[in-house]
Amino acid sequence: MEPVRGGRLAALSGELEAQMQEQRPGDSVASWAFRFLKGLPDVKVVLSGMTYPNQLEDNLKTFADDSTLTESQQQFLFDSVVPTLLDAVPCTACRYCCEGCPKGLDIPALISIYNEMNFSGRSFRLNGLKEKELPKNCVGCGKCMKVCPQGINIPDVLKKMAEKIAAQ
């Protein structure tokens, strides 16, 4: 389910898309995700949400045959595409960091929004935050870092997020 993550995995840089077209001329970026899944032995059903008729046509074309990605195409995904998608902060939303925050920030929610911003360039959830809930309010005390099981440098992440927001 959601093999193209709401279409976000189909929106890569022009350079990556060109390299994919070289390897599989005529195939869409989305079809790479489906062909990857078709090569996994335990996957029996792939659910894909479609918004436009051309997406339905592309899916029908992709599933009309049994072809999967070659080993070199899979390696290309792992070496070139996946690293561009995984620039995410590995927060598990345990909320230990929230207990001692002097500003009462919902740090896991902010990190989740930050990851969305890094992945898609925006997050609509950001608009729902009140002024006092924004990452710019972090005082950088580091109490959150001391209890974070993932060892995330939370003040640094929130500072980067605040800078990203200010630059918009």
Q: What is the pLDDT of residue 82?
A: 79
Above 70 in pLDDT, residue 38? Answer: yes
* pTM value surpassing 0.75: no
Q: What is the pLDDT of residue 5?
A: 67
Above 80 in pLDDT, residue 25? Answer: yes
SS3 readout for 60-100: HHHHCCCCCCCHHHHHHHHHHHHHHHCCCCCCCCCCHHHHC
Q: What is the pLDDT of residue 6?
A: 67
Above 80 in pLDDT, residue 158? Answer: yes
8 A C-beta contact, residue 113 and residue 126:
yes
Q: What is the pLDDT of residue 26?
A: 92
8 A C-beta contact, residue 48 and residue 10:
no
pLDDT band for position 1 (cuts 50, 70, 90) = low
Q: What is the pLDDT of residue 39?
A: 92
Q: What is the pLDDT of residue 115?
A: 87
For 48-107, the pLDDT digits (tens) are: 888 899 999 999 999 999 999 999 999 998 888 877 776 789 898 999 999 999 999 999
Helical axes 14-23 vs 29-38, angle rounded to 10°: 60
For 120-144, the pLDDT digits (tens) are: 777 889 999 999 999 999 999 999 9
